[in-house]
Structure 1
Amino acid sequence: MLLQVLGLFFLLAVAKAQVFSLGKCPTVKTQDPFDINKYLGDWYEIYKFEASFEGKQTCIRANYQLKEDGHIRVQNTGIEDGKNITAVGDGYAPDKNVPAKLQVRFSDKAPYGKYWVLDTDYDHYTLIYSCTDLAGLSHIEFAWILSRARTLDDQYKTKLFDLVTSYGIKTSNFQKEVQEGCS
């Protein structure tokens, strides 16, 4: 009984800083076809689900570059408390037949996490989703909408919100990110 209570407290602590929901992860479809070469370059975070590992950063930009080993160099930059914050990670597609189902990590000691591209036009927007089932009873999910510019036209927001809604993902979990006053 003590282990169950401790487990519940752990799950509540994790859930406080992430989007935690009951039930299994929703079934989603990734972009098909997906061309990683068109995806490379700079993207700006416009909307996101709460993610404790991002802290309270603003002006978040992600840059993706292909490495010689076929993996992807992921560099995230942002500003927190007036300081530039940079995190460099590694990404790859474990199944070449499903290239939009990427795995990414930001530490050699950390496991890879899901980075699934659900939709992108490569020029204006991308929608990324990650979900992990917890014993089939609940799940933790993350989602990001990125843009090639620091703003995103409402037509793309509407399209992407409609897409996540069709999968049963709550758009109310999205938070608008600050991209004003960025250098």
Structure 2
Amino acid sequence: MWSILVFLVYVLTTTAQIVRPGGCPKAVTQTTLDLPQYLGNWYEIYKFWAIFEVGQKCVEAHYTLKDNGHVKVENSGTRFGSKVEALGDLYMPDSNRPANLKVKFGNSAPYGDYWVLDTDYKNYTLIYSCGSLLGPLGHVESAWILGRQRTLEQSIVDKLFAKAKSFGINTDHFSKTDQSGC
């Protein structure tokens, strides 16, 4: 029993994601994704708690197409007045499921899910990731709402929260990213 508890504490402190009991919610991605329209600048509006973002504000992402068909992900923000950056690689492993992307940050890191649940390309995107933890006992999840501007209309946020809830995703885990004074 202690080894399970120690393992769960380790997972909680190292995964940088939300840990919940039971299996992953049955989230469904968009059926299409126009990657060239998706590229460009996005600003983080809401996120699930992540240890690597503690203390950050003005978080943004820039997506550019690489020669190999993958997407270069350049995340940046400020933490206590200093700029922080993370470089990643995003790709589409199955063209039959184009919104079920994979992303990783760092050469030795494994790829994780980057599922586009909804985007209109011009204003917003809703991204979700979930992985099993100890089989059916639990899951680890992340979610983000990004916008092309540093703010989103409340009606869009409400729509995206409703979509997430319809899949069984607990939107109480979302917190608003500080985009003031950027």
Q: How high is the TM-score relative to the length of structure 2?
A: 0.95
Q: Does 1:34 align with 2:44?
A: no
Deviation string 1:71-97 (CA, Å, 9 cap, x unpaired) is: 000000000011001111111011111
Which is worse superposed, 10-19 or 22-31?
10-19
* Secondary structure of the corresponding residue to residue 180 of structure 2: coil
Q: State, as a whole percentage, how many aligned pairs show the same letter.
A: 51
Q: 1:20: Cα distance to partner? A: 1.0
Q: Does 1:6 align with 2:3?
A: yes
Q: Distance in 2 between matches of 1:82 and 1:156?
A: 30
* Secondary structure of the corresponding residue to residue 158 of structure 2: helix
Which is worse superposed, 103-112 or 48-57?
48-57
Partners of 2:90 and 2:104 within 8 A in 1: yes
| Corresponding residue of 2:177 | 177
Q: Distance in 1 between matches of 2:35 and 2:5?
A: 40
RMSD between superposed Cα atoms in Å: 1.1
Q: Distance in 2 between matches of 1:12 and 1:97?
A: 37
| Corresponding residue of 1:139 | 139
Give the gaps of 5 or more residues in structure 1.
none
| Corresponding residue of 1:15 | 12
| Corresponding residue of 1:50 | 49
Q: Distance in 2 between matches of 1:15 and 1:47?
A: 20
**1:103-182 matched pairs, under 5 angstroms:** 103-134=102-133, 135-182=135-182
Deviation string 1:109-165 (CA, Å, 9 cap, x unpaired) is: 010011000000000000000001112210011000000000000111010000011
Structure 1 runs, 4 residues or longer, greater than 3 Å off: none
Q: How high is the TM-score relative to the length of structure 1?
A: 0.94
